[in-house]
Structure 1
Amino acid sequence: MSSPSSPSMPFAPAAPASATSRRWKPSPLICTAAAVHAGAAVALAARPGAWPWAAGGVAASHLVLTAAGLWPRSTLLGPNWTRLPEHAGQRIALTIDDGPDPEVTPRVLDLLDRHDVRATFFCIGDLARRYPRWIEAIVARGHAVENHSQRHRHTFSLSGPLVMKREIETAQRTLTEIAGVAPRFFRAPAGLRNPFLEPVLCGLGLHLASWTRRGFDTCAKDSGTVTRRLTTGLAPRDILLVHDGHAARDARGEPLVLDVLPALLRAAAERQLQWTTLRACLNEEAAEIDHADLP
């Protein structure tokens, strides 16, 4: 088994893949908000004295849009992978955010090697540039590298479309250059977003992914609490979230995720659940569509 200080490569690197743009289809909520704005404009033009009602309608629509963006698992602003597709069957996905971390990521990789588990790493572009060897190791060991923005700014959800596109596109170039494989998924910092995100992702060929359940392992005090949050109700097609970056530490100074993962992997085995990556499920979904289109 490899030491935490050097990336061994027991698995062949994944073949390069490029993301192609998707057509943006506004969600019903976005269409409704647009209709409210248009109606308010018409009402003001026809009857200027109705401005309090028009302003109230517009304000209410903005509040609803904001609330939808503050709910990471919401699909109100557009498609969002909160669970794996139905064809995943008994499989579940482990997603690992905020890395790479030069201390924690190598140890997580070694642990996953021992259990023969593949995971999806949502990586930050700036950290990937700083620690490229661990991005290379993630791919070489059979895992997937996905886009978690270039700088992981907590003000991301307050950005306009141009800023969002620049942030995501920069990370896309960074991660593709280092990993040799273009990310297919994006996860917003803290899971927060606004209505501008989905059209940007469509233009870049990326799919939004959140999670089914998370352990809050960046702020928890003990690994048992994190494990219970992840394993209570654990079911087929779940997407689970832990962190190799910004990982909380226990009383010994050890990252909680290193205690959580073995318990989580045992719980999945007891339920006869298998692990997969988001990318693998997306590729299978695309293959099914292609097969259905054949004459």
Structure 2
Amino acid sequence: MKPPRLSPFLWLCGALHVLALLALLYRPHDWLALLLLLVLLHGLIAVAGLLPRCALLGPNLTRLPAAAIRRGEVAITIDDGPDPAVTPAVLDILQHYGVKATFFCIGERAAQYSALCQQTARAGHAVENHGQRHRKQTSLFGPAGWRREVGEGQATLQRITGHTPRFFRPIAGLRNPFLEPVLQQQGVFLASWTRRGYDTRVRDPEQVYARLVRNLAAGDILLLHDGNAARTADGQPLILSVLPRLLQELSRRQLQAVTLPQACQPEQTAAGVADA
């Protein structure tokens, strides 16, 4: 197995740690200054892990590739499902508008509602890895914890759908330097988003919709939720109020919603699929 390719930022952090150790050997009386330097460095690493769209810890798909932008594509990604009370209605809306989306599913929920997860895949949507357990402390995991969270999620979703996920999204996009080597070993890619509506917290569909369509353009990756969806004042899952309007707006702007795997195909391959 090839060793993981670390980002230049992590190589720099490693080099600074070595230099700090050497400086401590030669100037032990400066230990406090060196300690403060290392604290600041680790603080910077932590901040990088707290920013979902940051690429300092490794490759991060925050926007669709240039070829997808030229084709006028956007990607709708839907997290935290499957949810038996919401996902079927989401699938009906997508079918009505003839749109394919990417569902980042939690492994345990996919196993609990396997028929619904299979239905999602059979409808032509991409089912991708949102972790096996979706625990809030995931960003504190070491290598073994990430291997379980990513690897078990891969195995669960592959067993249920028959397709191996190509993308992984941690809970809230939070991570640490131990994740990227695991993703490389598993052959999956970190995917975040360009814009989100905060539809797990905001109860007003107008606010969520406005956030999603503000400066909406080809290449955007949009984030919505079928699992853990906030409810409107009348008790409706918020995504069900926002999604139809969003799809109508995409059509008005002549933007095509595709799955992440479709968007990341080489231009000539995608053209061939479209012609088929």
TM bracket, shorter-chain basis: over 0.9
Q: Does 1:244 align with 2:226?
A: yes
2:83 aligns with 101
SS at match of 1:233: coil
1:167 aligns with 149
SS at match of 2:63: coil
Instruction: Work out the CA distance in 2 between the residues paired with 1:271 and 1:277.
Output: 18
1:48 aligns with 28
Alignment deviations for residues 39-64 of structure 1 (CA, whole Å, 9 cap, x no partner) = 11111122211211221121111011
Aligned partner (choices 33, 47, 51) of residue 71 of structure 1: 51
1:293 aligns with none
Instruction: Work out the CA distance in 2 between the residues paired with 1:275 and 1:133.
Output: 25
1:273 aligns with 255
Match runs of 1:250-265 below 5 Å = 250-265=232-247
1:26 aligns with 6
SS at match of 1:283: coil
Alignment deviations for residues 216-265 of structure 1 (CA, whole Å, 9 cap, x no partner) = 00011211110000001100000000000000001111101001001111
Q: Percent identity?
A: 50
Instruction: Work out the CA distance in 2 between the residues paired with 1:59 and 1:286.
Output: 48
Contact 1:23 1:202 in 2 (8 A): no
Q: Does 1:58 align with 2:38?
A: yes
Higher helix share: 2
Shift of 1:286: 10
Shift of 1:24: 3.2
Alignment deviations for residues 144-173 of structure 1 (CA, whole Å, 9 cap, x no partner) = 000000110010001111111111101110
Contact 1:146 1:185 in 2 (8 A): yes
Contact 1:36 1:57 in 2 (8 A): no
RMSD: 1.5
Instruction: Work out the CA distance in 2 between the residues paired with 1:139 and 1:98.
Output: 15
SS at match of 1:193: coil
SS at match of 1:155: helix
TM-score, length basis structure 2: 0.94
Q: Does 1:179 align with 2:158?
A: no
2:207 aligns with 225
- In the alignment, structure 1 segments of 5+ residues that lack a partner are 1-20, 289-295
Instruction: Work out the CA distance in 1 between the residues paired with 2:51 and 2:62.
Output: 12
Instruction: Work out the CA distance in 1 between the residues paired with 2:265 and 2:165.
Output: 13
Instruction: Work out the CA distance in 2 between the residues paired with 1:80 and 1:115.
Output: 29
TM-score, length basis structure 1: 0.88
AA in 1 matched with 2:141: S
Instruction: Work out the CA distance in 1 between the residues paired with 2:73 and 2:150.
Output: 29
User: For this pair of structures, how many residues does the alignment match?
Assistant: 268
2:274 aligns with none
1:198 aligns with 180
- In the alignment, structure 2 segments of 5+ residues that lack a partner are 271-276
Instruction: Work out the CA distance in 1 between the residues paired with 2:201 and 2:213.
Output: 18
Contact 2:107 2:132 in 1 (8 A): yes
Contact 1:216 1:226 in 2 (8 A): yes
Contact 1:22 1:202 in 2 (8 A): no
> After the TM superposition, which segments of 4 or more aligned residues of structure 1 sit over 4 Å from their partners?
285-288
Contact 1:211 1:239 in 2 (8 A): yes
Match runs of 1:123-138 below 5 Å = 123-138=105-120
